[in-house]
Structure 1
Amino acid sequence: MKIYFASDQHFGAPNSEESFLRELKFIAWLDEVKKDADVIFLLGDLFDFWFEYKTVVPKGFIRVLGKLAEIRDSGILIYFFVGNHDLWMDDYFQKELNIPVYHDNKEFVFNGKTFLIGHGDGKGPGDKGYKRMKRVFTNPFSKWLFRWLHPDIGVRLAQYLSVKNKLISGAEDVKFLGEENEWLVQYAKRKLEYKHYDYFIFGHRHLPMIVDVGENSKYANLGDWIGYFTYGVFDGEIFELKEYNKS
């Protein structure tokens, strides 16, 4: 059994030229892991912005989408969790790629190990500004209003804000804040008060880490595909973080 996890590719940022190079590297990684993968989890922010109009999706990323389609058609399961940058994803992945899309955490059990998996945005204490903004973004009326913008206007505006607005992008100094100040660490510890999980797997923080949060329980953050190029792998016994070094 090999289960792979990756998060926070942010394709499209900061510009198409730099994004394209990262896309090629990610596709090379997918070509490697498909050789022995049973399941691949993508934990959000695959795109720096994504919005599904009724008949239109953002231009670009065809190589990534094509590779995901190829892998899924081969029989390998792929699960996608929306992040704070692609939270307006609807049913395009499900209909075109046969990839389920989740908008919140979901529990999985593999080889007797229980996983709680999600992107991680808006979880735990703090981050109140983003939590308020997320409620606005996910409000059906807000989505309805945005849909009335012509895609050439709406997508360009959203892409600009996604890069420039720190509250939206989550851009900050990526450094370990200590267990007491890492919101997802605290979130995991609180969840353990009600149920045991062997692993909490999240993205969003852009900082690869594995932290013991309880007896036989670990929180892992996958890092990103901007500066770290890290991913997670579970071999049926243990979970590890690894770095993809191929240029």
Structure 2
Amino acid sequence: MHASALFISDLHLTPSMPRTAERFFEFLEKEARTHEALFILGDLFEFWVGDDAKARSPFHLEVAQKIKALKQQGTKVYFMHGNRDFLLGEAYAQKADMAILRDPQVVTIAEQTWLLTHGDALCTADKSYQRFRSVVRSRFVQKLFLMLPTSLRVSIASSLRSNSTANYHRAQRFKPEAIQVKGDVTITATASLVSMTNCQRVIHGHTHRPGYHEESLGGQSWQRWVLSDWDFDHPETVLPKGNALSITSTGVKVLDLVRS
């Protein structure tokens, strides 16, 4: 239970995006310190192939140190796995001094309950992705994958990322309405999760479609906040973007993190 909290998602941190990392570090030093807790709802990193693969990476060690410094200042940090970094484990979490949450998770903020999820499990219209997700989230498959040499793991992850990006752009060119439907959460999946948890305030990321929605189905209603992805490194293709959701005793507020 916390009196105030911030929520972020889909930063996709990587050494090749230094401006996004810089904005995250600034966010930790400024906005995050004004709240009791920070919740990172998945895809903190662009990809993760095991804690051992990042054990000596200066970039990933710096991220851990910055997060740990926030915790030392009094703000608790929680992390939920995303579809890109679901292999992030306790070894790295301990370096960053952040607690790993299960997905979904119900928490109490400012005396209200909130349902947290990364969001990819709610995209049930994308049948192929859900089949892929069920396989890679298997503990047996993960154990086998982590036994592979690091270089091979990185190669596999890079190939999967390239195929995913290519499929996305192909769908946008030929069937933009299909990518809109397949890549978004479905109301039936959301309704099922709301019913299962008995919580009517949902926060998630993953879709890169930030917004607020009031929805209902089958006699139940809920509110849904969608977090933005972050990108401060590609002004030639997209405008800088990144937000956080602030919850305090005074209400809910979306923080635009783009510097003017």
Place the TM-score, normalised by the shorter chain, in its bin.
0.7 to 0.9
Segments of structure 1 that go 5 or more residues without pairing to the other structure are none
SS at match of 1:34: helix
Segments of structure 2 that go 5 or more residues without pairing to the other structure are 232-239
Q: Deviations over 1:101-152 (max 9, x none)?
A: 1241100112331100010112253222111111221223322332232213
**Distance (Å, rounded) in 1 between the aligned partners of 2:33 and 2:123:** 36
Report the CA distance between 1:64 and its aligned residue: 2.0
SS at match of 2:54: coil
Q: What corresponds to 2:230 in structure 1?
A: 225
Q: What corresponds to 1:46 in structure 2?
A: 44
Report the CA distance between 1:56 and its aligned residue: 4.2
Alignment of 1:244 onto 2:249: no
SS at match of 2:122: coil
SS at match of 1:183: coil
**Distance (Å, rounded) in 1 between the aligned partners of 2:143 and 2:246:** 39
Q: What corresponds to 1:96 in structure 2?
A: 95
Answer yes or no: is the 8 Å Cα contact 1:40–1:79 preserved in 2. Answer: yes
Q: What corresponds to 1:84 in structure 2?
A: 83
Q: 1:206 aligns with which of 193, 205, 208?
A: 208
Alignment of 1:114 onto 2:125: no
**Distance (Å, rounded) in 2 between the aligned partners of 1:170 and 1:83:** 18
Identity of aligned residues (%): 21
Answer yes or no: is the 8 Å Cα contact 2:208–2:229 preserved in 1. Answer: yes
Answer yes or no: is the 8 Å Cα contact 1:39–1:77 preserved in 2. Answer: yes
Alignment of 1:57 onto 2:69: no
Report the CA distance between 1:31 and its aligned residue: 1.2
Q: What corresponds to 2:23 in structure 1?
A: 25
TM-score computed with the length of structure 2 as normaliser: 0.80
**Distance (Å, rounded) in 1 between the aligned partners of 2:38 and 2:106:** 15
Structure with bigger helix share is: 2
Answer yes or no: is the 8 Å Cα contact 1:48–1:162 preserved in 2. Answer: no
Alignment of 1:8 onto 2:15: no
**Counterparts in 2 of 1:88-167, with a 5 A limit?**
88-123=87-122, 125-158=124-157, 160-166=158-164
Q: Deviations over 1:168-223 (max 9, x none)?
A: 99777599958xx9425443333444564342000100111100125873101101
SS at match of 1:35: helix
Instruction: Mark the CA change 1:133 to 1:177 in structure 2 (over 3 Å): closer, same or farther.
Output: closer
SS at match of 2:259: coil
**Distance (Å, rounded) in 1 between the aligned partners of 2:21 and 2:224:** 27
Number of matched pairs: 240
**Distance (Å, rounded) in 2 between the aligned partners of 1:230 and 1:22:** 12
Answer yes or no: is the 8 Å Cα contact 1:4–1:234 preserved in 2. Answer: yes
Answer yes or no: is the 8 Å Cα contact 1:3–1:234 preserved in 2. Answer: yes
Q: What corresponds to 2:235 in structure 1?
A: none
SS at match of 2:19: helix
TM-score computed with the length of structure 1 as normaliser: 0.83
RMSD: 3.0
